[in-house]
Amino acid sequence: MLLSALLVVAFGLTGAFVRVPYVAIGPGPTYDTLGDVNGAPVIQISGQQTYPTGGELRMTTVSLNDQITLFGALGLWASGRYALAPREEYFKPGESDEQVQQENVKEFQDSQSNAEVAALRHLGYPIKVLAQDVVAGSPADKVLAAGDRLLTVNGKQVTQEDDVRAALVGTKPGQTVSITFQHGTDAPRTSTLALAPNPDPNTPQGFMGLQPVDRADVPFDVKVSLQDVGGPSAGLMFALAIVDRLTPGELVPGEHVAGTGEIDEKGNVGAIGGISFKVVGAREAGATVFLTPAQNCAEAAAAVPDGLKLVKVTTLDSALTALDDLKAGRPAPSC
C-alpha cells in the first residue's frame, strides 16, 4: 500500500515538475496593422502625406509554449487548441532561448524592411542598393562598410540588388573589378577589387564578399512599432498597410481582413508555418477574409473555421487586386 502511494506521488511530482522535450503550438494574438497597439500606431509614416484608412488588416501569429511539463503538455493537447511537436523542430541542438529570440527578431526586422521596399516599389518610389553585409577578410572588406550605397559594379550601373550579382557573372578569382560606392553623404568614389575564390564550390565566378540589398530611396520614414513579435510572416500585411496609408481611398472599408505571408523586396509572397493556427486566431479576432500564400492553401483549407473565406495570393500585387475585387463584389481567387 505504501509502495503504491509512493509511486503515485512520484508520478505526480514527475508530471508536475519534469519538463518534456516538446513544445505546444497554438493560435496567437493578432494585430491590426492599420491600428494602434499600446497607444502607438503599428505603422507610423513621418515626412509624407498619408490618408485615412478603414476596416482592419490583421497580421496573425502563433503562440509557442516551451519548457512545458508532462501534465502541462497533456493539458494543452487535450484542449484541442494546441499541437505538440518535438522541441528540436523549433530549437536547434545547443541553441539557447536567447539565440532563438535574436533570430526571430532579425527575421521580423527583415520582414519590415522587405515590406517597406515592396510597398514603395509598387507605388513607384525609387530604390537604392546598399551593402547589407560585408564578409570579414573578403576583397570588399578592404574598402566597403555595411550601409554603403552601391552605384556601379564592374562598369555596370546598379539599380537593384540583382544587378550586383549579374555584374559578376563570368568573372574569375584573381580578376579585378571596379566598384563605385557612396559612404553616407560622402562623394561617390571608385575602387578596384581583386576577386577571391568563391566559398561555394559550385559557383565558379569570383567572390567580392558583400551582400546587396534593395532599400527605398525616399525622403520620409516608415516605422513599425510592435514589440514581442518575431519571425518573417507579417511582411505581406505590413506591405498592404503601407500602401493603404500612402494612397487615397481605403483598401478594406469596413472589412475585417487578416492574413499572413513572408514577402521579399520585389513583392513575392512566400509560404509560412503554423497557418492552421493562424486561421483560427484570425476568425476568433473577427476576420471574415484571410489572405493565404498559395503554397499554404491546402493546409489552410483543412483547418479553416466557419465564416472565414480563404483568398489565395502569390504577390503583393495579387493581394491588392484580390482586395479590390472583394470591395467591388467580384470573385477573388480562393484556396
Give the residues of the chain that fall short of pLDDT 70: 1-21, 69-80, 95-97
**Residue 13 pLDDT:** 36
**Residue 17 pLDDT:** 41
**Residue 229 pLDDT:** 82
**Residue 289 pLDDT:** 98
**Residue 2 pLDDT:** 40
Q: Is-catalytic flag, 63?
A: no
CA-to-CA distance for 238 and 224, rounded, in angstroms? 8
Q: In this structure, how many other beta carbons lie within 10 angstroms of the beta carbon of residue 71?
A: 15
Residue 229's closest CA among 204, 257, 260, 198? 260
The one catalytic residue in 111, 113, 233, 318 is: 233
**Residue 79 pLDDT:** 59
Residue 212's closest CA among 181, 188, 253? 181
Strand 189-194 relative to strand 83-86, pairing: unpaired
Grid coordinates in use for 119?
510597398
CATH number of 27-63+98-123+219-328: 3.30.230
Ramachandran quadrant class, 274 (left: phi over 0; alpha: psi -120 to 50; beta: rest): left
Return the CATH number of 127-216, one of 3.40.1400.10, 3.20.20.20, 2.30.42.10, 3.40.190.10: 2.30.42.10
Q: Is-catalytic flag, 233?
A: yes
Enumerate the domain spans of the chain: 27-63+98-123+219-328, 127-216
**Residue 67 pLDDT:** 72
The one catalytic residue in 113, 128, 278, 312 is: 278
